[in-house]
Chains A and B, each alone.
Chain A
Amino acid sequence: MFVLIIGGGKVGLNTARQLLQLDHEVAVIEQRKSRYDLLVEELEEALVFGDGTEIWVLEKAGIARADMVVAVTGDDEDNVIIAQIAKMKFSVPKVVARVNNPFNQPTFDLLGIDATVCATTSMLRLIMHELPVHKYVPLFSLRRENLEVVELEVSESSPFANTYVQDIQLPENVLLAAILRAGHALPARGSSEILPGDYVLCVLPPAKGKELIKVFLPDESPEELEKESELDTSEG
Chain B
Amino acid sequence: MHVVIVGCGRVGSSLALSLVTEGWSVAVVDDRAESFYLLGEDFGGQFVEGKALDWDVLRSAGIEHADAVVTATDGDNTNIVVAQVAMKKFGVKCVVARVYDPLRATLFAQTGIRTVCPTRDARVLLLDAVRSCEVSAEA
B84 touches A111 (CB 8 A): yes
Task: Judge if A116 is at the interface, Cβ distance under 8 Å.
Answer: no
B107 touches A77 (CB 8 A): no
Residues of B near A88 (CB, < 8 A) are: 107, 110-111
Task: Judge if A55 is at the interface, Cβ distance under 8 Å.
Answer: yes
Q: How many chain B residues have a CB neighbour from A under 8 Å?
A: 21
A84 and B110 alpha carbons, distance in the complex (Å): 11
Interfacial residues of chain A within 63-90, with CB under 8 A of chain B in the complex = 75-78, 80-81, 84-85, 88-89
Residues of A near B77 (CB, < 8 A) are: 53, 75, 77-78, 80-81
Residues of B near A107 (CB, < 8 A) are: 53, 55, 81, 85
Residues of A near B54 (CB, < 8 A) are: 103, 235
Task: Judge if A104 is at the interface, Cβ distance under 8 Å.
Answer: yes
Task: Judge if B29 is at the interface, Cβ distance under 8 Å.
Answer: no
How would residues 107 to 128 of chain A score, 1 for a CB under 8 Å from any chain B CB and 0 otherwise? 1001100000000000000000
Task: Judge if B64 is at the interface, Cβ distance under 8 Å.
Answer: no
Given contacts A53-B77, A77-B80, A110-B84, 13 further A-B contacts (CB under 8 A): A55-B101, A55-B104, A75-B77, A77-B77, A80-B77, A80-B81, A81-B76, A85-B104, A103-B54, A106-B55, A107-B53, A107-B55, A111-B81
Spell out B's residues near A (CB within 8 Å).
51, 53-55, 75-78, 80-81, 84-85, 88-89, 101, 103-104, 107-108, 110-111
Q: State the 7 A-B residue pairs at the shortest beta-carbon distance, nearest first.
A: A77-B77, A55-B103, A81-B77, A77-B78, A77-B81, A80-B81, A78-B77
